[in-house]
Structure 1
Amino acid sequence: MFNEEGKYSVEVCFSPLSWSLYDRDDAVVVITDIFRASTAMCAAFHNGVKSIIPVAEISESEAYKEKGYIVAGERDGQKLDCADFGNSPFNFLEPSLRGQTIVMNTTNGTQAIKKVAHGNNEVVIGAFINLSAVVQYIMALKRPVVVFCAGWKNRFSMEDTLFAGALAERLLNDGRGDYHTICDAAIASADLWLLAKGNPLGYIEKAAHRHRLRKMGLDDIIEFSLTADYTQAIPVLSGKELVDAHRLE
């Protein structure tokens, strides 16, 4: 949507419970789940996987496993019984996964993807590790932008909001004046990012999910997940699968 000055809008949805307020068919929807699903997906395509099939139900993962698919999945941070591995980004960097299709099922990230996978939305997976690539991709599309924070079980998530703020800041200060916002969530996200950007690793110590991961011994991915521009890979939804946008060119 343009405003009266001919700029594309930037909005941020803090929780899946609020998605109905932002749902629209003309937007680029950037789904982010920094700890850990969106970071893992970007890492997978950086490693050369062919595609990722996101699913929401454990029964779907089990059915794909019976068909011989590689399955990655977790609930509450713990690997699903039917899964070959969980959703640590490091799992997806294994050389044996290159050229493979992976079925993925997570507590928050894949649920968010299934929620928005309809209509004419352009669904993009965003993380700090592909931030600049996503910004460039979005700007080329020339469409309104909604950043969808997967959160934690429908709750606000600091790490996802920091990414939303970093993305919003880049778009709103693109040097061309193509984007604007009157969305308080986008403004608040950008302000939070300004507080954290000098030391995001230190700032994230405050985050609830950071403490959850530490308690489960899964916090080895924190620094990697906050690393900017590790990859140029851009996962996008094509039909029922995620593929690297570079394959669609």
Structure 2
Amino acid sequence: MNRIEVCYSPALFDLYKNKDAYVVVVDVLRATSSICTAFSHGVSSIIPVKTRDEAYAYKQKGFLVAAERDGIKLDFADFGNSPYNFSKENVFGKHVVYSTTNGTKTIQIAAHSKGVLIGAFSNISTLTNWIAKKNAPVIILCAGWKNKYNIEDSVFAGALTERLLATNAFYTDCDSAHAALDLWKHNKHDLRALIDICAQRERLRKNKLDDCIDFCLQLDSCNVVPIFNGTALVNAEI
């Protein structure tokens, strides 16, 4: 059986590194939910970049750019970080450069793992089934908020842990995985109530960007598994 671990912050990832493990990056509000939405709407690839300058350089080359900092769209970007921005009309058949406060940096941090996958509530079943076929350990890496713990990514980590354990192909002896699992079990029947107390919800509300929260909490709306190929995210074969 293969092991599940949960890492609550990119700042802790060096303590979990395992070259044989798949790393599932999660940033529920909003980056990984938006990435899954983009692939469900036919984006060709998403190029994650860490810095504003990198994103701007791509824009100067004519790329479509989605970028934000602290939730606010960067002035040169074509759009920001809401899943509603990644409509079929905006992204079908296109290559999108993407830079966010937390999520895209986390993808880059995990880039040298066996494989970097994108997780969200919207693709949780498809992701679980894909991982279960790979016979490899899994690290669920929460993007958090500027290297700090957050609730929304942790409760997703618990949900994914529960589903992976149910395949009987995984086990966990990881305290953070057990804590995430407990958080999920105690809140899964009223997930919105939990999210309503989290700091990111308040940040989004203050910027009038919280209209996508229910969308980001929907289960299984996307039949995709975005995977990082070393340069860009592409849709894995399912």
Distance in 2 (alpha carbons) for counterparts of 1:49 and 1:191: 35
Distance in 1 (alpha carbons) for counterparts of 2:183 and 2:19: 28
What one-letter code is carried by the residue in structure 2 that aligns with 1:205? Answer: D
Which residue of 1 is the match for residue 224 of structure 2? 233
- The equivalent position to 1:41 in structure 2, one of 35, 38, 56, is 35
Which residue of 2 is the match for residue 69 of structure 1? 63
Percent of pairs with identical residues: 47
Distance in 2 (alpha carbons) for counterparts of 1:79 and 1:233: 26
Q: 8 Å contact 1:61–1:82 — kept in the other structure?
A: no
Task: After TM superposition, give the deviation of residue 30 of structure 1 in Å.
Answer: 0.2
Distance in 2 (alpha carbons) for counterparts of 1:169 and 1:59: 39
Distance in 2 (alpha carbons) for counterparts of 1:92 and 1:17: 29
Superposition map of 1:142-181 within 5 A: 142-174=135-167, 177-181=168-172
Distance in 1 (alpha carbons) for counterparts of 2:151 and 2:89: 32
Distance in 2 (alpha carbons) for counterparts of 1:23 and 1:178: 21
Deviation by residue 1:145-195 (Cα, 9 ceiling, x = unmatched) = 000000000010100001100000111122xx2211110000000000001
Q: 8 Å contact 2:42–2:88 — kept in the other structure?
A: no
Q: 8 Å contact 1:72–1:105 — kept in the other structure?
A: yes
Asked if 1:56 corresponds to 2:50, the answer is yes
Deviation by residue 1:18-69 (Cα, 9 ceiling, x = unmatched) = 1000111000100000000000000000000000000001111111001000
Distance in 2 (alpha carbons) for counterparts of 1:96 and 1:223: 21
- The equivalent position to 2:212 in structure 1, one of 218, 221, 241, is 221
Query: C-alpha root-mean-square deviation of aligned residues, in Å?
Result: 0.9
Which residue of 2 is the match for residue 139 of structure 1? 132
Task: After TM superposition, give the deviation of residue 239 of structure 1 in Å.
Answer: 2.3
Task: After TM superposition, give the deviation of residue 208 of structure 1 in Å.
Answer: 1.0
Asked if 1:123 corresponds to 2:120, the answer is no
Asked if 1:101 corresponds to 2:95, the answer is yes
What TM-score does the superposition give when structure 2 sets the normalisation length? 0.98
Which segment drifts farther, 232-241 or 35-44?
Answer: 232-241
Distance in 2 (alpha carbons) for counterparts of 1:141 and 1:213: 36
Task: After TM superposition, give the deviation of residue 211 of structure 1 in Å.
Answer: 1.1
What one-letter code is carried by the residue in structure 2 that aligns with 1:38? Answer: T
Distance in 1 (alpha carbons) for counterparts of 2:215 and 2:61: 33
Name structure 2 gaps, 5 residues minimum.
Answer: none
Structure 1 stretches of at least 4 aligned residues deviating more than 2 Å after TM superposition: none
Name structure 1 gaps, 5 residues minimum.
Answer: 1-6
What one-letter code is carried by the residue in structure 2 that aligns with 1:122? Answer: G
Task: After TM superposition, give the deviation of residue 233 of structure 1 in Å.
Answer: 1.1
Distance in 2 (alpha carbons) for counterparts of 1:65 and 1:52: 14
Distance in 1 (alpha carbons) for counterparts of 2:225 and 2:15: 26
Asked if 1:89 corresponds to 2:83, the answer is yes
Aligned residues: 238
Distance in 1 (alpha carbons) for counterparts of 2:108 and 2:230: 11
Distance in 1 (alpha carbons) for counterparts of 2:90 and 2:33: 19
Distance in 2 (alpha carbons) for counterparts of 1:152 and 1:131: 21
